[in-house]
Structure 1
Amino acid sequence: MLKKYAQRISRNRPAQREEVLWLLRHHAASLVQRYGVRTLALFGSVAQGRSRRESDVDLLVQFEPGRPTGMLEFVDLKGWLESVLGRPVDLVTPANLKPRIRERILREAIDVL
Protein backbone atom coordinates (compact mmCIF):
# COMPACT_ATOMS: atom_id res chain seq x y z
CA MET A 1 0.00 0.00 0.00
CA LEU A 2 2.73 2.48 0.96
CA LYS A 3 4.73 1.66 -2.17
CA LYS A 4 1.68 2.23 -4.37
CA TYR A 5 1.07 5.55 -2.62
CA ALA A 6 4.67 6.62 -3.17
CA GLN A 7 4.51 5.72 -6.85
CA ARG A 8 1.19 7.51 -7.32
CA ILE A 9 2.36 10.76 -5.77
CA SER A 10 5.67 10.78 -7.61
CA ARG A 11 4.26 10.10 -11.07
CA ASN A 12 1.47 12.64 -10.95
CA ARG A 13 3.39 15.65 -9.63
CA PRO A 14 6.80 16.73 -8.42
CA ALA A 15 8.13 15.08 -5.30
CA GLN A 16 7.22 17.11 -2.24
CA ARG A 17 9.89 17.58 0.44
CA GLU A 18 7.63 16.64 3.37
CA GLU A 19 6.35 13.49 1.66
CA VAL A 20 9.87 12.33 0.82
CA LEU A 21 11.05 13.01 4.37
CA TRP A 22 8.05 11.16 5.81
CA LEU A 23 8.60 8.11 3.60
CA LEU A 24 12.31 7.94 4.44
CA ARG A 25 11.74 8.40 8.17
CA HIS A 26 8.98 5.79 8.07
CA HIS A 27 11.62 3.33 6.79
CA ALA A 28 14.38 4.41 9.20
CA ALA A 29 14.61 1.00 10.88
CA SER A 30 15.29 -0.73 7.55
CA LEU A 31 17.85 1.87 6.58
CA VAL A 32 19.77 1.33 9.81
CA GLN A 33 19.36 -2.43 10.31
CA ARG A 34 19.39 -3.73 6.74
CA TYR A 35 21.79 -1.27 5.14
CA GLY A 36 23.86 0.07 8.03
CA VAL A 37 23.00 3.69 7.31
CA ARG A 38 24.43 6.02 9.93
CA THR A 39 23.16 9.30 8.49
CA LEU A 40 20.94 10.21 5.57
CA ALA A 41 20.21 13.72 4.32
CA LEU A 42 18.06 15.17 1.56
CA PHE A 43 19.53 17.88 -0.68
CA GLY A 44 18.96 19.35 -4.12
CA SER A 45 15.75 20.46 -5.78
CA VAL A 46 13.39 18.38 -3.61
CA ALA A 47 14.96 19.72 -0.40
CA GLN A 48 14.72 23.27 -1.75
CA GLY A 49 11.10 22.87 -2.85
CA ARG A 50 12.02 23.38 -6.53
CA SER A 51 11.48 19.87 -7.88
CA ARG A 52 9.73 19.09 -11.14
CA ARG A 53 7.94 15.92 -12.20
CA GLU A 54 11.14 14.54 -13.73
CA SER A 55 13.39 15.48 -10.79
CA ASP A 56 15.29 12.77 -8.99
CA VAL A 57 15.75 12.67 -5.23
CA ASP A 58 19.26 13.62 -4.10
CA LEU A 59 20.40 11.84 -0.94
CA LEU A 60 23.64 12.03 1.02
CA VAL A 61 24.45 8.84 2.94
CA GLN A 62 27.04 7.78 5.51
CA PHE A 63 27.37 4.18 6.65
CA GLU A 64 28.24 2.75 10.04
CA PRO A 65 32.01 2.22 10.40
CA GLY A 66 33.05 -1.33 9.67
CA ARG A 67 29.90 -2.10 7.70
CA PRO A 68 30.55 -3.65 4.27
CA THR A 69 29.69 -0.90 1.79
CA GLY A 70 30.99 -2.01 -1.55
CA MET A 71 29.41 -1.31 -4.92
CA LEU A 72 26.90 -4.16 -4.54
CA GLU A 73 25.56 -2.87 -1.22
CA PHE A 74 25.48 0.70 -2.53
CA VAL A 75 23.50 -0.30 -5.65
CA ASP A 76 21.15 -2.43 -3.53
CA LEU A 77 20.42 0.52 -1.23
CA LYS A 78 19.88 2.84 -4.21
CA GLY A 79 17.40 0.40 -5.76
CA TRP A 80 15.57 -0.04 -2.48
CA LEU A 81 15.29 3.75 -2.02
CA GLU A 82 13.96 4.11 -5.56
CA SER A 83 11.29 1.49 -4.89
CA VAL A 84 10.26 3.19 -1.64
CA LEU A 85 10.13 6.66 -3.19
CA GLY A 86 8.85 5.58 -6.60
CA ARG A 87 11.31 7.75 -8.48
CA PRO A 88 15.01 7.90 -9.39
CA VAL A 89 17.49 8.52 -6.59
CA ASP A 90 20.93 10.11 -6.84
CA LEU A 91 22.78 8.61 -3.88
CA VAL A 92 26.16 10.02 -2.86
CA THR A 93 28.55 9.83 0.08
CA PRO A 94 30.40 12.87 1.47
CA ALA A 95 33.62 11.51 -0.06
CA ASN A 96 31.98 11.58 -3.52
CA LEU A 97 30.94 15.24 -3.34
CA LYS A 98 32.82 17.53 -5.69
CA PRO A 99 34.86 20.04 -3.67
CA ARG A 100 33.31 23.07 -5.38
CA ILE A 101 29.77 22.13 -4.26
CA ARG A 102 30.53 20.20 -1.08
CA GLU A 103 30.10 23.04 1.42
CA ARG A 104 26.84 24.24 -0.15
CA ILE A 105 25.34 20.74 -0.11
CA LEU A 106 26.40 20.09 3.48
CA ARG A 107 24.97 23.45 4.54
CA GLU A 108 21.62 23.00 2.74
CA ALA A 109 21.06 19.29 3.44
CA ILE A 110 18.03 18.31 5.52
CA ASP A 111 18.74 15.49 7.98
CA VAL A 112 16.54 12.42 7.59
CA LEU A 113 18.46 10.21 10.06
Structure 2
Amino acid sequence: MLLEQLYQRKTVITETARRYGACWIGVFGSVARGEELPKSDVDFLVDFPHGYDLFAQRLLLAEALSKLLDRKVEVILEHELNRHIRQQVLSEAIDL
Protein backbone atom coordinates (compact mmCIF):
# COMPACT_ATOMS: atom_id res chain seq x y z
CA MET A 1 0.00 0.00 0.00
CA LEU A 2 1.34 3.41 -0.99
CA LEU A 3 0.35 5.02 2.30
CA GLU A 4 2.85 2.79 4.11
CA GLN A 5 5.57 3.95 1.71
CA LEU A 6 4.65 7.57 2.44
CA TYR A 7 4.92 6.92 6.18
CA GLN A 8 8.37 5.38 5.63
CA ARG A 9 9.39 8.59 3.83
CA LYS A 10 7.53 10.90 6.19
CA THR A 11 10.64 12.77 7.35
CA VAL A 12 11.88 13.58 3.87
CA ILE A 13 8.36 14.49 2.68
CA THR A 14 7.75 16.88 5.58
CA GLU A 15 11.25 18.37 5.28
CA THR A 16 10.65 18.94 1.57
CA ALA A 17 7.31 20.60 2.31
CA ARG A 18 8.90 22.86 4.92
CA ARG A 19 11.72 23.77 2.54
CA TYR A 20 9.07 25.25 0.23
CA GLY A 21 7.32 27.06 3.08
CA ALA A 22 4.49 24.66 3.96
CA CYS A 23 3.35 24.64 7.59
CA TRP A 24 1.57 21.28 7.30
CA ILE A 25 1.19 18.45 4.79
CA GLY A 26 -1.20 15.52 4.67
CA VAL A 27 -2.48 13.04 2.13
CA PHE A 28 -6.06 12.46 1.03
CA GLY A 29 -7.95 10.75 -1.78
CA SER A 30 -7.46 7.21 -2.99
CA VAL A 31 -4.10 6.83 -1.25
CA ALA A 32 -5.53 7.85 2.13
CA ARG A 33 -8.44 5.44 1.63
CA GLY A 34 -6.16 2.58 0.55
CA GLU A 35 -7.89 2.45 -2.84
CA GLU A 36 -5.06 3.64 -5.07
CA LEU A 37 -4.18 1.92 -8.32
CA PRO A 38 -0.62 1.46 -9.62
CA LYS A 39 -0.85 4.67 -11.69
CA SER A 40 -2.80 6.73 -9.15
CA ASP A 41 -1.47 10.16 -8.31
CA VAL A 42 -0.90 11.24 -4.73
CA ASP A 43 -3.16 14.02 -3.48
CA PHE A 44 -1.45 16.17 -0.86
CA LEU A 45 -3.34 18.67 1.25
CA VAL A 46 -0.99 21.49 2.25
CA ASP A 47 -1.20 24.57 4.42
CA PHE A 48 0.96 27.55 3.48
CA PRO A 49 1.10 30.79 5.43
CA HIS A 50 -0.87 33.74 4.07
CA GLY A 51 0.89 35.35 1.12
CA TYR A 52 2.57 32.24 -0.29
CA ASP A 53 4.04 32.46 -3.79
CA LEU A 54 2.29 30.10 -6.22
CA PHE A 55 5.34 29.62 -8.42
CA ALA A 56 8.14 29.73 -5.88
CA GLN A 57 6.43 27.48 -3.37
CA ARG A 58 3.41 25.46 -4.46
CA LEU A 59 4.44 24.47 -7.97
CA LEU A 60 8.03 23.75 -6.98
CA LEU A 61 6.81 21.67 -4.02
CA ALA A 62 4.61 19.62 -6.35
CA GLU A 63 7.55 19.07 -8.69
CA ALA A 64 9.89 18.09 -5.83
CA LEU A 65 7.38 15.63 -4.35
CA SER A 66 6.70 14.13 -7.77
CA LYS A 67 10.42 13.50 -8.29
CA LEU A 68 10.82 12.14 -4.77
CA LEU A 69 7.94 9.68 -5.16
CA ASP A 70 8.42 9.00 -8.88
CA ARG A 71 4.74 9.58 -9.58
CA LYS A 72 2.33 12.40 -10.32
CA VAL A 73 1.23 14.43 -7.33
CA GLU A 74 -1.38 17.11 -6.76
CA VAL A 75 -0.81 19.79 -4.15
CA ILE A 76 -4.09 21.26 -2.92
CA LEU A 77 -4.36 24.05 -0.39
CA GLU A 78 -6.94 23.68 2.35
CA HIS A 79 -8.39 27.15 1.81
CA GLU A 80 -8.92 26.37 -1.90
CA LEU A 81 -11.07 23.29 -1.29
CA ASN A 82 -14.45 23.43 -2.97
CA ARG A 83 -17.16 23.78 -0.34
CA HIS A 84 -18.97 20.74 -1.77
CA ILE A 85 -16.06 18.38 -1.07
CA ARG A 86 -14.30 20.22 1.74
CA GLN A 87 -15.72 18.20 4.64
CA GLN A 88 -15.04 14.86 2.92
CA VAL A 89 -11.43 15.81 2.11
CA LEU A 90 -10.76 17.09 5.62
CA SER A 91 -12.27 13.99 7.21
CA GLU A 92 -10.11 11.59 5.20
CA ALA A 93 -6.88 13.63 5.23
CA ILE A 94 -4.03 11.87 7.01
CA ASP A 95 -1.30 13.92 8.65
CA LEU A 96 2.25 13.21 7.51
TM-score w.r.t. length of structure 2: 0.87
In structure 1, C-alpha distance between the alignment counterparts of 2:36 and 2:54, rounded to whole Å: 30
In structure 1, C-alpha distance between the alignment counterparts of 2:7 and 2:86, rounded to whole Å: 21
CA contact (8 A) 2:21 2:57 kept: no
Q: Match of 2:34, as an amino acid?
A: G
Deviations along 1:40-64, one digit per CA (max 9) or x if unpaired, are 0100001110000111000000113
In structure 1, C-alpha distance between the alignment counterparts of 2:32 and 2:53, rounded to whole Å: 25
User: Does structure 1 residue 19 correspond to structure 2 residue 5?
Assistant: yes
CA contact (8 A) 1:35 1:73 kept: yes
Deviations along 1:30-81, one digit per CA (max 9) or x if unpaired, are 321x211101010000111000011100000011345x42234211110000
In structure 2, C-alpha distance between the alignment counterparts of 1:104 and 1:85, rounded to whole Å: 25
CA contact (8 A) 2:46 2:77 kept: yes
User: Does structure 1 residue 55 correspond to structure 2 residue 40?
Assistant: yes
Tell me the percent identity: 33
Structure 1 spans left out of the alignment, 5+ residues: 1-14
Runs of 4 or more above 3 Å deviation? none
In structure 2, C-alpha distance between the alignment counterparts of 1:103 and 1:92, rounded to whole Å: 14
In structure 1, C-alpha distance between the alignment counterparts of 2:31 and 2:86, rounded to whole Å: 17
Structure 2 spans left out of the alignment, 5+ residues: none
Q: Match of 1:73, as an amino acid?
A: Q
In structure 2, C-alpha distance between the alignment counterparts of 1:78 and 1:36, rounded to whole Å: 12
User: Does structure 1 residue 79 correspond to structure 2 residue 63?
Assistant: yes
Which of the numbers 20, 29, 41 marks the counterpart of 1:35? 20
- Tell me the number of residue pairs that the alignment of Structure 1 and Structure 2 aligns: 95
TM-score w.r.t. length of structure 1: 0.75
